[in-house]
Amino acid sequence: MAHGSSTNSNHYKPPDLLSPFLDIPNEIVCVIFELACTDNFLQEYPWPLDQEREPAVKLTLPVITYLPTLAISAVCTRWRSLALASPSLWSHLSLETTPATVSDVQGGFTSTLQLYLDRSVDTPLTIGLRTTGTLYSHIISSGSPALNLLLQHTCRWKNFSYIGDYKLKQYMDSSLSFPILENLSLSALRSAIRLEDLGCFANAPKLHMVKTDDPEIHSDLPWTQLTSLDVRTPRDIDLLRRCRCLAVLKLQSFWSKFGPGSVSLASLKSFTFIDSTQKCHRKLLENMFLTLTFPSLTELFMYSEDGSGESLIWPLDAFNGFISRSSCTLTTLSLSSVTISDVDLISALHLLPSLTKFSTEALRNPKGRSPITSHFILNMHSSSTTPLLPKLRCLSIKSHGTSFDDSAFVSMVSSRWIPDRSLEIDCLRSLVLCFLERKVEEVNEIYKPLWNLDRMGMRVVITGTEMSGTKV
């Protein structure tokens, strides 16, 4: 009996209480860590009480919660060793700081920042810095601890974003170089980014993406090498002419009038225009289309910053001239808060037979109604004499108002699912229809024919004012 008991005990296996995560290879675990550690947020804590502004981000959880890499390295021996062996996990930093230099306030903050910089070793850095207050002359002499630490590693800056009112030129030595800096974003809180501040980044041979509020053509920034630019409309339109290598351009219409003459950007592929004017300027789009020429354009996005769209009045003739002059092949068009009639919308789309993606949101005709009328829908039908957008594969419509021809729309969508090859119309693969002022359940029965299309492979999403929405 004793011998039998001994034998049974040797074969006994306790229940497996270990986490299945332990069986995952280190290589996969590191990939998971990379995805989880893209944003390590570090804020001065406690926040100085004498500061004139509250922090932009209010911490509601323990500080380590906002530092995923540090948190991961404290879980267990295995995770710690993996984190320490992966410098890239420590290279993504977002900081919020003040000009204060009091040791008991800055101590933990700066030591944690130093820890991240040390453990990132020589990995390229992605840095987001936000400051409150102004760095006055009496503080510059002693320096901002956070910025001082970061400036010791400018040779590793790959992506740098700054929001605040520091006079960077007074703090950053003009001899600083940024050999691997690719992306730069500078925004002010109260005033505008200064000419001298832009010049601080003149020695950046790999810089190709810039985002800033108030671009200055006379700054020493290497405009000619940029491929992506996100700015408010420059006072001097010659700035765009200098950026002759641009592939992506995003303009905010802070000024209502564009400069005279035509600006041609031969390499531009994506253009986004944002109406941020506070007053109505009825010829805003007309002036823009008359000024610009983009022969290689494939993507066009237009929307209003506040959703009003008072200045986004569609200029049909100017747009026709822009397309004719550019001879571009647009594949993506997105219009939001634009005032346009159904007739003008149809005319514009007839000029764009190459479109594969078309999206609209809150379009209105001059009478304040939706231009997605029965007449427009009929022209989209595959049985139309000259169907609009024969290459269309993705359609997204977000509509105001309660008037909508549901039956005609269902028929149109159905006609573009595996249409007759002789029609030379591509199969519609994705549909998103969002009603902003009506419930879908009221017309749910009408949209049942689209259920089968969803089951057969088309992505169909229809939502209304219901909290949960409806997907068919």
Task: Dump the DSSP string for 58-79.
Answer: ---S-GGGG-HHHHHTTT-HHH
Q: Is residue 302 part of a domain?
A: no
**332-336/394-399 β-pairing:** unpaired
Segment (H or E) for 361: strand 357-361
What are the b/e assignments for 318-336, b being 16+ CB within 10 Å?
A: bbeebbebbebebbbbbbb
Instruction: Please give the sequence-ordered ranges of beta strands (E in DSSP) within 164-252, or none if there are none.
Output: 183-187, 209-212, 228-232, 248-252
Closest by CA to 262, choosing from 288, 286, 242, is 288
Calpha distance 414→382 (Å, rounded): 9
Taken as a whole, the chain contains a residue count of: 472
Residues 251 and 270 sit within 8 Å (Cβ to Cβ): no
The residue ranking higher by pLDDT, 178 or 440, is: 178
Q: How sure is the predictor about 419, in pLDDT bands with cuts at 50, 70 and 90? A: confident
Give the chain's domain count: 2
Q: How sure is the predictor about 472, in pLDDT bands with cuts at 50, 70 and 90? A: very low
Q: Is residue 282 part of a domain?
A: no
Q: What is the pLDDT of residue 184?
A: 96
Please determine, for residue 414, whether its predicted confidence score (pLDDT) is greater than 80: yes
Q: What is the pLDDT of residue 280?
A: 66
For the segment 75-99, the average pLDDT, to the nearest whole number, is: 93
Task: Give the number of other CB atoms < 10 A from CB of residue 52.
Answer: 8
Residues 300 and 274 sit within 8 Å (Cβ to Cβ): no
Q: Is residue 250 part of a domain?
A: no
Please determine, for residue 470, whether its predicted confidence score (pLDDT) is greater than 50: no
Q: How sure is the predictor about 7, in pLDDT bands with cuts at 50, 70 and 90? A: low
Q: What is the pLDDT of residue 173?
A: 74
Q: Which domain holds residue 48?
A: 19-152
**248-252/228-232 β-pairing:** parallel
Q: Is residue 181 part of a domain?
A: no
The structure tokens 């999403």 sit at 461
Lowest mean pLDDT among 48-52, 94-98, 202-206, 438-442: 48-52
Q: What is the pLDDT of residue 51?
A: 61
Q: What is the pLDDT of residue 275?
A: 86
Task: Give the number of other CB atoms < 10 A from CB of residue 228.
Answer: 18
The structure tokens 């503080």 sit at 139
Q: What is the pLDDT of residue 287?
A: 86
**Integer-rounded Cα radius of gyration of the chain:** 28
Q: Is residue 469 part of a domain?
A: yes
Diameter of the chain measured on Cα atoms? 104
For the segment 243-258, the average pLDDT, to the nearest whole number, is: 80
Q: Is residue 73 part of a domain?
A: yes
Residues 268 and 300 sit within 8 Å (Cβ to Cβ): no
Q: Is residue 238 part of a domain?
A: no
Q: What is the mean pLDDT of the chain?
A: 85
Listed residues 137, 152, 167: the one ending a domain: 152
Q: How sure is the predictor about 376, in pLDDT bands with cuts at 50, 70 and 90? A: very high
Q: Which two tokens stand for residue 281?
A: 């300027």
Q: What is the pLDDT of residue 8?
A: 53
Closest by CA to 159, choosing from 39, 9, 22, 275, is 39
Please determine, for residue 258, whether its predicted confidence score (pLDDT) is greater than 70: no
Listed residues 152, 173, 200: the one ending a domain: 152
For the segment 432-461, the average pLDDT, to the nearest whole number, is: 89
Query: What do you get for the CA distance between the two ends of the chain, in Å?
Result: 67
Q: Is residue 433 part of a domain?
A: yes
What are the b/e assignments for 68-96, b being 16+ CB within 10 Å?
A: bbbbbbeeeeebeebbeebebbbbbbbbb
Please determine, for residue 469, whether its predicted confidence score (pLDDT) is greater than 60: no
Q: What is the pLDDT of residue 165?
A: 78
For the segment 342-369, the average pLDDT, to the nearest whole number, is: 95
Q: How sure is the predictor about 400, in pLDDT bands with cuts at 50, 70 and 90? A: confident
Listed residues 152, 177, 195: the one ending a domain: 152
Q: Which residues pair with 398 in a beta bridge?
A: 361, 434
Instruction: Please give the sequence-ordered ranges of beta strands (E in DSSP) within 21-107, or none if there are none.
Output: 40-43, 92-97
The residue ranking higher by pLDDT, 248 or 424, is: 248
Please determine, for residue 22, whether its predicted confidence score (pLDDT) is greater than 90: no
Q: What is the pLDDT of residue 226?
A: 96
Q: How sure is the predictor about 104, in pLDDT bands with cuts at 50, 70 and 90? A: very low
The residue ranking higher by pLDDT, 110 or 135, is: 110
User: What sign results for the dihedral spanned by CA atoms 373, 379, 380, 381?
Assistant: positive
